[in-house]
Amino acid sequence: MNSERDYLNAYIFPKIKEYCKKRYIDFIPVDLRWGITEEESRNGLVLTTCLEEIDDSRPFFIGLLGSRYGWQPTVDDLKNLRPSLSDQKGWIENMVKESASITEIEFEYAALRDMKLPYACFFMRSEGVDIPEEFKEKTGSMPEQKLNKLKEKILSQHNYPAYHYTSNKALGDILYREITTMVDKEFPIDGHNGLDAILWKQEQTLKKRLDTSFYMNDICEHIDQWIQSEEKLLLIKGDKEGIGSSTSLCYGVKYLRNKYNNPIVYFDFGTIPPEQDKFETFYHFLSLDACRIPTGQWGIIAIDNAHFDSDELTSILTWLDSLHNGIHVIFSTHFYSTLYDTIAFRYSCPVISLHERNDTEKFIDNYTARYGKRFTQEQKEIIIAQKSTRNPTYLKIILNNLINFGSYEKLNERIKKLVSQGEDFIFLYLMQEANTLFHTINLHTTYPKYICAISLFQGIYEDELLNMLNISRSEWSVIHPWVMQFCKEEEGRYTLINPDWGHQIKNLYPTPEIAQLGMEMIDWFLKDDSLLKRSIHAALSIYLNIWHLPFTEEAYQKLHGKMLFIGTSPIAVNYLSINKLSTLWRLLRKHRMTDKPTFWLGCTISELNTKEKIEYFTKLGKVASGLCRGTDASYCYTQIYQIKSTKGENDAILYHAKSLMEIGQMEKAIEIINHCSQYSGWTPINPGNIFKKIHKNDKRLSLKLINLKINAYKEILNYKACDKLFQDYIKLLESLDDDQYNAIKEDATKGLMTLIEIGSFDGNLDNLNTAIDYSNMIADFIKSLGIGHPLSYLYNLYGTIRQLRQKRYSDMLKWTTWTLKSASIAYGQSSYQYARAEILYVYAHYKTQGTHGISHQATNVYIPRNYTRSFETENLPTIEWSRISHSVKRKLILERDFYKRLIREIQPYPKQQEMDNELDKFKERISMDI
């Protein structure tokens, strides 16, 4: 019956699983011929194992009969019958004495003996089917007579349908119809209302993750300690994807529910489709009566897959701050999550750190038991011996493949083959194996398309795959199980289990074909204007995976033209995080933000209201500044200046000055601020009294103007003027009462940050101590802003510099770790701010540990990102450097040289010599005397 079993496993059972998902139930086929191990056979446990599996599968049973009667147990095999079946021993023993086969005993036990099982059906292979003689009982033999008698019994009863089949397809079609009919009766689709469905989805997710869990004593101990500490938050994090943080959280929820009667609420953000608002769905869930924790009551909210973009962090922090004292929260996330960084920076809370576990055998037993299958001890030891199997994600790939492997006789050989591939090569091995299979059924071009499409857009829906690739449902049903061995599926969305496999796919298939597929996918998504945010997310994800692949010049221009639609459309600018926008505009290196796209996604800029326009240009200006696109940043701030001027708003002058500073015109910016009366309507005043006059009108604007002017003087290296302005700044701060100060605290802190910057970099000890004092003074406020705020980046950067100056390299490493994380969230990893933070991190790591600490750099030569601050990029020169003052250019060179010296110090000697002899192209480009 191996042929039938293989067909059902490959083509029919996956379809039934999908059908069952509509009822929020799992379909788990249990093959009674698979799960019997050699050890159980030797110990006489075969019979018990099979009958217990039948009990676990009630109220459903499917019986298959071929041309063999089956193995016939002896009375000795009943000696080890487990206690669970002791009340059945009498009739089983009578059947064994009559030489009944295990197959007939199973049929009797499941359905035929008392006919009380609600759902069962039987299938018998027709006599005319051509099969080898060794798979038939000998003509006239006693087993053949018993087999025919069993068939007659099945056909003579009228409680359960019985069919003859002539082919695997005929068997599959009838079996699919019968099982789905059973499911319809047992789990009617309208059996849950909308409220039930919301709760059911979360609880089923929790149940699914608990299916393979085992007693986690360490997790229980950590949770007990957390509760006793009365801390409000707890973080469970893995040191990489797939290490078990979700399973640990779910086990913790189970443990807490068993121990306490208080509300223990579970919510998985991974169940929310991308087109839905995460927090609207989350808040709605918490508003349900079953999930509400009333004021004064103690309860816990456990949040799974807490992975958020930087722009979403404010929402989760606001929610945390709004909770009453009785509510405690557990988050599950991974180490590189922005949420982990934000929570760890802002709050003092315990963290459960997960690494690769050593309880692999328990995991194997629980996971295989879920599918009614078992391994021998020898087989488990082969798996456990491979260190990579300590990673639950990799282990699941191995186990899923083995569970679906048809031949138990060849299982040992299969196990050895799979584990020998290791974590790095298992994907390539299984992909090549699948390709070989699909060549035989003429699907060798269809299958790679599916895998490539999923790798280009992690989170693609099944319907999207079928429609964009124009592939039939029948083809999908064949391919689906082979796709799922590499993917995880949440609410119909497919993602690769290991995101890094996307790079391996590009080594497996022709890159021009992948590039063409990516272009077609982008076109398909951008045609759909019904879900614009979904289309933007999809198109950008695909673009970031294909932009470096080989294109014709015409195709390359077309691709970047489409990305310009996204980079300039208001809906995309509003939706995308700073990090994603920064990455996009870094790649649009030959386009400017003033370039007009041929069409817009959603509304145009002119259709925005005043507030929306200001937010649009502010965000783009921030991105442009971080990428050294001075002209673009200046354009954005000029637009804001014009909008505010038209409205008669006093702070318009700030944006006029900022627009000049972004293109290096510091002196003009100072002049504009000094003569701001023409913009604000104030009477002309002397520059020395300007701040006193403005102070009487608007203290917040006064602070902003002083700070902007300090920064302009700093850029032309006039620190005496800075010092004088600081005195006015401090006096203004001291004149504020508590309410006034709290109202403008962020603006006040920006000015202090500039003072901290000068003191941190300056060699003067008094200035350094002043910087330390002010840094300590604002520390709590910086924490309240969160790690992703630009002020948090500056705070940690200057703290890093102070540790560097004092040669406290261990402390420097701690500070610069936060600097790096903050730069990533606040400015994006394409920014010069991030590049500088990385240099400082690498330097501190080298000083403390002797290595660079950057995983993607394999050699001892450190290759930095572009850390040079400028007003233009090399690919888009837009600045007339002859119009920039010498002092401004000198400031840029001094900054550049500071980081360049750090880089040189941690390079091997040959690289140092190379750096000493290389031409200073930056000085040459900005027309600075070399």
pLDDT, one tens digit per residue, over 583-641 is 999 999 889 999 988 878 889 999 999 999 999 999 999 999 999 999 999 999 999 99
Judge if pTM exceeds 0.75: no
What does the pLDDT read at residue 239?
63
Is residue 174 domain-shared with residue 212, that is, in the same domain?
no
612 and 534: one domain? Answer: yes
SS3 content of the chain, % helix, strand, coil (to 5): 65, 5, 30
d(CA 465, CA 493): 10
pLDDT of the residue at 688: 39
Q: Which helix (H) or strand (E) holds 496?
A: strand 493-496
The domain boundary, picked from 649, 669, 695, lies at 649
The pLDDT of 750-771, averaged and rounded, is 87
574 and 613 fall within a common domain: yes
User: Residue holding tokens 């009863």?
Assistant: 157
Q: Does residue 165 sit within a domain?
A: yes
- pLDDT score at 539: 93
146 and 109 housed in the same domain: yes
Residues 104 and 214 in one domain: no
Specify which residues 121 forms β-bridges with: 62
Mean pLDDT score across all residues of the chain: 85
pLDDT surpasses 80 at 927: yes
Residue 122 pLDDT > 90, yes or no? yes
Residue 160: its pLDDT value, please?
94
Q: Is residue 493 part of a domain?
A: no
**What is the C-alpha separation between 508 and 605, in angstroms, rounded?**
43
The pLDDT, as a whole number, for residue 857 is 57
Predicted local confidence at residue 682, as pLDDT: 33
Rounded average pLDDT over 250-275: 89
Top-confidence residue, 887 or 342: 887
**Residue 33, pLDDT score:** 62
**Cα(558)–Cα(336) distance, rounded to whole angstroms?**
34
pLDDT in tens, 48-92: 777 877 887 889 999 999 888 888 888 887 776 766 677 788 898
pLDDT band at 466, cuts 50/70/90?
confident
Give residue 263's pLDDT. 94
More confident residue, 714 or 187: 714
What is the average pLDDT across 301-312?
A: 83
Say whether both 321 and 407 belong to one domain. no
- The more confidently predicted of residues 832 and 928 is 832
**Beta sheet of 327-334, edge-to-edge order:** 264-268, 299-304, 327-334, 233-238, 351-354
pLDDT of residue 80: 65
pLDDT confidence bin for 642, thresholds 50/70/90: very high
Which phi-psi region, left, alpha or beta, contains residue 498 (left: φ > 0; alpha: ψ -120 to 50)? beta
* Low-confidence winner among 156-165, 540-549, 694-703, 869-878 (lowest mean pLDDT): 694-703
Q: pLDDT value at position 42? A: 45
Please identify, among 306, 334, 354, the residue that sits at the C-terminal boundary of a domain: 354
What's the pLDDT at 348?
78
Question: Is 202 inside any structural domain?
Answer: yes
Average pLDDT over residues 412-432: 88
**What string of DSSP letters covers 715-754?**
HTT-HHHHHHHHHHHHHHHHT--HHHHHHTHHHHHHHHHH
Domain end marker among 152, 186, 220: 186
pLDDT of residue 132: 76
Residue 569 structural domain = 530-649
Q: What ranges make up the beta strands (E) of 251-356?
A: 264-268, 299-304, 327-334, 351-354
Sign of CA dihedral 566, 567, 570, 574: positive
- Could you report the per-residue pLDDT of 649-697, keeping only the tens digit for each? 888 999 999 999 999 999 999 999 887 643 333 333 343 343 334 444 5
The whole-number average pLDDT for the span 378-391 is 85
In Å, what is the CA distance from 350 to each residue of 144, 178, 308, 355, 367? 68, 52, 20, 16, 30
- 122 and 88 assigned to the same domain: yes
Write down the pLDDT at residue 655: 95
Q: Token pair 């089983």 is at which residue?
A: 92
Q: How many CB atoms lie within 10 A of CB 511?
A: 15
DSSP state for residue 876 in the 8-state scheme:
B
Give the residue-averaged pLDDT of 725-750: 86
Dmax of the chain from CA atoms?
A: 119
In terms of domains, do 198 and 282 share one? yes
What is the pLDDT at residue 663? Answer: 96
- What gap in Å lies between CA 563 and CA 540, rounded to an integer? 7
Residue 814, helix vs strand vs coil: helix
Q: Of 797 and 789, which is predicted with more confidence? A: 797
Q: Is position 226 within any domain?
A: yes
Is the predicted pLDDT of residue 260 greater than 80, yes or no?
Answer: yes
In sign, the C-alpha dihedral spanning 701, 703, 709, 714 is negative
pLDDT, tens digit, for every residue of 541-550?
999 999 988 8
Extract the runs of DSSP E, i.e. beta strands, from 545-609: none
pLDDT, tens digit, for every residue of 472-487? 766 776 777 788 888 8
Q: At what angle do helices 473-484 and 422-439 cross, to 10 degrees?
A: 160
Residue 474: predicted pLDDT? 64
Report the pLDDT averaged over residues 13-28: 79
> Does 563 lie in the same domain as 631?
yes
Residue 566: its pLDDT value, please? Answer: 93
Predicted confidence at residue 215, as pLDDT, reads 60
Is 50 exceeded by the pLDDT of residue 813?
Answer: yes
Is there a domain that residue 671 lies in? no
Whether 807 is covered by a domain: the verdict is: no
- Give yes or no for a contact between 751 and 703, defined as CB atoms under 8 angstroms apart: yes
Structural domains in the chain (count):
5
Q: Is residue 13 domain-resident?
A: yes
Is the domain of 55 the same as that of 121?
Answer: yes
Could you give the CA distance from residue 263 to residue 475 in angstroms, rounded to a whole number? Answer: 46
Please provide residue 165's backbone torsions phi and psi, each rounded to the nearest 5 degrees. -130, 150
Residue 154 and residue 60 in one domain: yes
- CA–CA dist 794, 755 (Å, integer): 11
- The verdict on 319 and 411 lying in the same domain is no
Q: What percent of the chain has pLDDT over 90?
A: 40
Give the pLDDT band of residue 335 (cuts 50, 70, 90). low
Identity of residue 161: P
